[in-house]
Structure 1
Amino acid sequence: MVRQIKSLNIEKNKFKIPYFSILGSLVIIILFILLWRPLNFGRTVYVPLNSQAQTTVTDKSTIDVGEGRVEIAEAQSNSDNVTESSDEPEDQIAPDEIDEIIDGKDNNTVQYTISRGDTLHAILLRYNVSKKDVFLLTNKYKQLANLRIGQQISWTTDDNHNLQNLTWAISSNNIRVYEKSGDKFVETSETAENVSQENKVITGVIKSSFVADARKSGLTSNEIGIITRALQWRLDFRKLQIGDKFSVVLTREKHGDRLSKSQLLGVRFKNGTKDYYAILADDGKYYDVNGASLSQSFFRYPLAKQARVSSGFNPRRLHPVTKVVTPHNGVDFAVSRGTPVLSVGNGEVVIAKYSGSAGNYVAIRHGRQYMTTYMHLDKILVKQGQQVKQGDKIGLSGNTGRSTGPHLHFELHINNKPVNPLTASLPINEGLTGKSKKAFLAKVKQIQSQLTF
């Protein structure tokens, strides 16, 4: 009997549960979850398209992705099966004097020459003009859809980007002016009198900076902006050297003593031993002396393969938890950790570091008007100041910063304003051909002979 009881005790001890060990493990797991889970306040919540969580849809939008269409649902979830991230880097790029001229910030007035493919709506939004004012103007005055290549428009905004007035020069003696009055725009017509036109050649030498020396030579802010936009892909204006030279051929139209518009016909820069040209063609765009495009093309996606969009661009996105409007200024691609991330165009890496809630963060400047940013990377493969080409691998996607799921947050900025990278109008690297090229080369001979120093 004693032997039997002893045997039972032995069997019982074999299956004795280490309660204290299990309890300790549970405490450690709970503490880890509480410490790891970020606060919900001020963060954007994204619901994956294949999520099984119960949701209440508050807003929907449909976007084109490749050949298909993806519906993005901004939703309030009753489950924890969501991906959360915060996409606000600590590091920002400080604008310089050329940025201010291109954006029209030096005097809040911008003059623009219409080129092929332009629409007034797209132009004004590209320059950060209030969307509300753009809608009020274009919705009431349908004739503004009839802009023609070579015509000029100019507009003035206040410091909050509200449109104050817009002038449309249909021809030399037919000008339409749209003035803001309360919550509407009023159209008036002007018939220009005492119109005079002059052709000018302006030359200069770099002694301090291009902007300062161009102004001293007699160029206006608008003309400086046209020059920098035309050559932004070929010439880094920040790296012009003392002694470099420039020559500009343009026409100016005056109404009495007032300069109403100017048109840049050609420009030449002597940077060290290299010459850079931009010549205006009949389509309103600038090309080099051989008719090759001065623009750069962009990839639409920063990945080698198309990926699912887990959250789309929405600058007025309502946060599903806080009910506060929290802009989502980019597109989230649902990709696994370690997926190669590619530069969508040629450019210079201006930021490559860990940057607050954005995690491992890369920002690339393309020319003077375009910038792309890539956030939450697992690994950065480039350095600040490095020149990259379209398609170069710049990092690996990850889950760094304030993010609870692997994904790539990608942004495109035009004129320092975030835009939807899936739908934005991007420059096309397309040169002249056929009759257009033949006519252009004949014009080059005439203009190039005037671009002397």
Structure 2
Amino acid sequence: MIRRLPKFHLTAIAVVCITSLLVLFWPADDSGTSTAAGPDSKIVKPLTLDLDKAKSNQYVGQPTQDPADVVRAHAAMGQDMSGVTEHFIEIKRGDTVSHIFDRLHIPPRTLMELLVADEEHLQLGNVQPGQSIKATLDDDNKLTQLILNIDIANQLTFKLEDGNYVADLYTNPGKWSQRAVSGEIRGSFEASARKGGVKRSSVAHITKLLENRLKFKNLRAGDKFYMVVNEQRINGDDVYQEEVLGVVIKSRNNTYSAFINQDGSYYDEKGQGLTKAYRKSPINGRYRISSHFNLNRKHPVTGKVRPHYGTDWATPIGTSVYSIGDGVVERVANHPLAGKYLVIKHGRKYTTRYLHLSKILVRKGQRVSMGEKVAKTGNTGRSTGAHLHYEFHINGRQVNPLKVKLPYSASVPKSQMASFKQSVKSMKQEMGI
């Protein structure tokens, strides 16, 4: 059979056999250990020791490394050996915190504890696409910290402290700067103002302010407008929010104006009111107050001491709720604890919140007038009975709605008139008129 193999294969077999014989019978190297053949002999690999390295303690006498030092060394190289894990999740359409926690194997009880800690801010129960969450879990998969990045200006952090979650909202103040805008009417007032870089919401605000004095559809080409806006930028980015400080519109026959006062209301340049200021209550009629504003109140459901940031009126379900002043709807949402709720921003200074509603009659971004019906009372969320929970915030801080001092007059208060006129003069100079 071997004779039938190709000549090339026969040559290769011969070379392998000769090489094997040479390896077996090659004489031993004199510098190594003796390898005399015999049934009891062992092949021993020579062991050499560098005496210089031995003396320098590179081979012997090295101390055992502390395990803590190993952990610290790995941490310095970016390797976490503590069992702590961090998860970064970008919120997408259809996502809820409950679904995200299920994926991370965080128990539902933890979410409920976070929602209780979030009663002041009401953010976690209504996450939006584009927001993000960073969750930190210990080696037992317990949530120790949660960071919700709401937008470029706001970040809400929950930390586990002494067995309870504590919420802290950080708001980047950014940088505010005033800017004068002017132009001629070409087409509509909205299109002309937008061409000057004014936000759509500000245009709608001006239209609402002057709607009782000026019919904007009657403006003609060549009519002029002047305004001063206050713009907030975060980290030098695009305008985050904008506030109208003053506006003057000159038509062929009349001049219309609106300037903000320190009380948050707008008046014409003579100090006469443009709006009806504020209502004292968001509901009509006399209803029993079932719970007052109290920062040390014991919660009726949990029994724990938790601040009560508003005033509760016991009302039948379906009672009409009215906006206490002109403003823009900032949020419409449904929260596990607050139920259906509504947030209205009244200028830069004031914000109101209406909780546990049965029905909301406005949409986010809509401008509302003082006294406009915006919702109906209910018993949604965590509630012990039908009622309206009403909050009033000044510069982001909760105050007692029944004790807050608001402007109810139709003109600038006498004590503020001098400073108002000085402000108007300054803004008109900035406008160039």
Q: Which has the higher strand share?
A: 1
Q: TM-score, normalised by structure 1?
A: 0.40
TM-score (norm 2): 0.41
